[in-house]
Amino acid sequence: MKTPLVSVIMPAKNCARWISSAVRSVLEQTYRHVELLIGDNGSEDGTPSILAGLAADPRMRMFSFGAEVVGAGAIRNALVEQARGAYVMPCDADDLMLPWNIEDKVEALVVSHGCDAIIYGDIIQIREDRHGKPIDAPDILGTSNESVWLVTSNCVNHGGSLISREMFLKVGGYEQGLQTGVEDRVLIIRLDGVGRIRYLPGRPGYVWRRHPQQATASLHDVHSQETYARAVTSAMAARRIARDSNSK
C-alpha cells in the first residue's frame, strides 16, 4: 500500500484563542504526507487574520463560508468535497493533535490493507474554565467499539480519527441540521454499515478541549435527546440496509 495523502479537515468559527496551536499541531505531525483544509464560518473575532498569517505553508488551503453553510457538519462536508486525500481526519479548531497521531493511524491502516472505514484511538480530555485554566486532571478516553454498542455509547473518538473518504462519501457524509456533537455519532453508525470500525489502543494521539465556548451539544436536555433518538433511528436503518446490501 502506497503512502496515502491524509486530508485534515478543520471547521473554524470564533476560535482565535486556540486556532494557532491547532494548526501547528497538524503541520508538525511526524507523518508528512498531509494537507490541512480550514473552513471559516463567518468568524467575528480575530480568527480570519490569524489564519491569513498562517497561510504561507503550502500544505494549507483555506475556505470562507457564508450564511448559506451553517454548522460544523456542513463545513466538514464541504471540506471533504475539496480534499485531495484518500483519507480524511477531523480536527476541531480548539483541539490539538499530538505529533504521532496521523503516523500511528496510517501504520494501522497499512496493516489492515486499507479495508477500514474508520480507525480511531485513545484521546486526552481536558476540561477548562472560561479563562482557559484546567478545572481538573486530564482524562484518557478510549473504548473498543467491539465491547460497547455504538448506539448506547459514543465510544468512537471522532477527533483525530482516520476515515476513508470513499466510504464517507458513500454514506452521505455528516447529516446536516443536527446539533454539533450529534452528527459525528450518526456518521459513525452509518460507516459501520459499509466498512470496519477499528480501535487502535495505546498512546493517545488527540487532545479534546472541553470549555464553555465550544459548540458541542449536551444530550442531557430533552430536545437534544429527542433529536439524537430520531437521528440514530434513521442512521440505524441506513446501516441495516447497507449491511444487507453488502451481504448479497
CB 207 within 8 A of CB 126: yes
The answer to whether residue 48 sits within a structural domain is yes
pLDDT at 245: 72
CB 19 within 8 A of CB 47: yes
- CATH code for position 161: 3.90.550.10
pLDDT tens per residue, range 180-203: 667 888 898 889 888 899 999 989
Mean pLDDT of the chain: 85
Pairwise CA distance, residues 8 & 23, whole Å = 10
The answer to whether residue 10 sits within a structural domain is yes
**161: closest CA among 205, 107, 208?**
205
If pLDDT is split at 50, 70 and 90, which confidence band does 27 have? very high
CB 156 within 8 A of CB 190: no
Q: pLDDT: is 154 or 50 the higher one?
A: 50
pLDDT at 222: 40
Residue 61: φ, ψ to 5°: -130, 135
Pairwise CA distance, residues 1 & 221, whole Å = 46
Q: What is the residue range of 74's domain?
A: 6-247
The answer to whether residue 226 sits within a structural domain is yes
- Residue 202, phi-psi category: left (phi > 0), alpha (psi -120 to 50), beta (remainder): left
The answer to whether residue 1 sits within a structural domain is no
If pLDDT is split at 50, 70 and 90, which confidence band does 125 have? very high
Count: domains in the chain: 1
**196: closest CA among 86, 88, 117?**
117
Would you say residue 58 has pLDDT above 60? yes
Query: What pTM value is reported for the model?
Result: 0.86
pLDDT at 218: 47
Residue 205: φ, ψ to 5°: -120, 0
Pairwise CA distance, residues 185 & 228, whole Å = 9
